[in-house]
Chains A and B, each alone.
Chain A
């Protein structure tokens, strides 16, 4: 088996990440502008993107700074909003288990919704020996564009044409990356349950609906797998 060399994987990761920037860059611009209008000093606004690097949590935290919430409450809210990353961490852990510690530390740092979505699609394809370079490529592209777009948002505010619904680009991206993850009946069941439960729990704050719906949906996927593999057909996964 000929493994693709590291630099090719890295560049493939960068290239595959490019369409996601359509949604990420406007998000970063808006964050920068919103943080400034909430009274966050410019350097600290960039600090949010440099250190926390999680769009939704940053939005909520900056808004809370603006409304004068207690610092401890804001930190706790960031923690809750980012709980879903534990699911991403669990999902990627087996794929990264063989890597040296510095790789685990770096790829965890870069683990966002978008990076996870890209990774999930990558690990559905073959030749995984150098796939961590792919993750590094997607993660670094995302990180760099998040920093630059935050800076631009801080410096000049948002100057996006309002007619362009670019915020819709992110859900569309996740939709595209959902496709390769639908491989059999149990994975379809998990997706159907996850979507429906997330809609039902959509009223919960801080993305708790997303976390609870996903956990329940994993259980439903497992249950369907148990039921459907009971006959001798033993479907391969």
Chain B
């Protein structure tokens, strides 16, 4: 692919991404949105964050891996308990990584 084409991908890909990010913040007036839509907004964070995390824990190479040798699942459970108790990002990441490293040493 020519360098000019790659720069075109960068420019148009960047523009598309920026327009998506701007969409509701700066392009679509909030008041015009239906009430049910606005009511649903508060569920976006729990829905999305959970949808990012859970597949990372229970899927391995695209297949469901609900077994004890799925170390990421076990480490994720440890991290979830720490997150629940401490509400600290540092401690959650630290506990999860430490658990994963220790499990890999077993």
Contact = CB atoms under 8 A, between A and B. Distances in A.
B7 to A, nearest CB: 6
B6 interface: yes
Interface string A40-73: 1100100110011110010001000100100100
Contacts, number: 268
Interface stretch (A2-10, A90-98, A141-149, A150-158): A90-98
B43 A221 contact: yes
A88 B100 CA distance: 30
Contacts of A113: 52
A123 B30 CA distance: 18
A53 B13 CA distance: 10
Interface in A197-237: 197-199, 202-203, 209-210, 213-214, 217-219, 221-222, 225, 237
Nearest to B43: A221
Contacts of B18: 108-109
Given A177-B49, A221-B43, A108 B54 contact: no
Contacts of A176: 79, 83, 87-89, 92-93
B68 interface: no
A213 B51 contact: yes
A34 interface: no
Contacts of A194: 46-51, 54
Contact of A93 (B1, B30, B88, B97): B30
B12 A120 contact: no
Interface of A: 16, 19-20, 22-23, 39-41, 44, 47-48, 51-54, 57, 61, 65, 68, 71, 74-75, 78-79, 82-94, 96-97, 101, 104-105, 107-109, 111, 113, 116-117, 120, 163-166, 168-169, 171-182, 186-188, 190-199, 202-203, 209-210, 213-214, 217-219, 221-222, 225, 237
Interface of B: 1, 3, 5-14, 16-18, 20-26, 28, 30, 36-59, 62, 64, 72, 75-76, 79-80, 83-84, 87-90, 92-93, 96-97, 100-101, 104
21 contacts: A41-B3, A68-B1, A71-B9, A75-B8, A82-B17, A83-B20, A91-B41, A92-B24, A104-B25, A105-B22, A165-B104, A174-B49, A178-B49, A178-B50, A178-B53, A178-B83, A190-B43, A213-B51, A214-B51, A221-B40, A222-B39
Given A116-B45, A168-B72, A219-B40, 4 more contacts: A78-B17, A97-B30, A109-B18, A210-B51
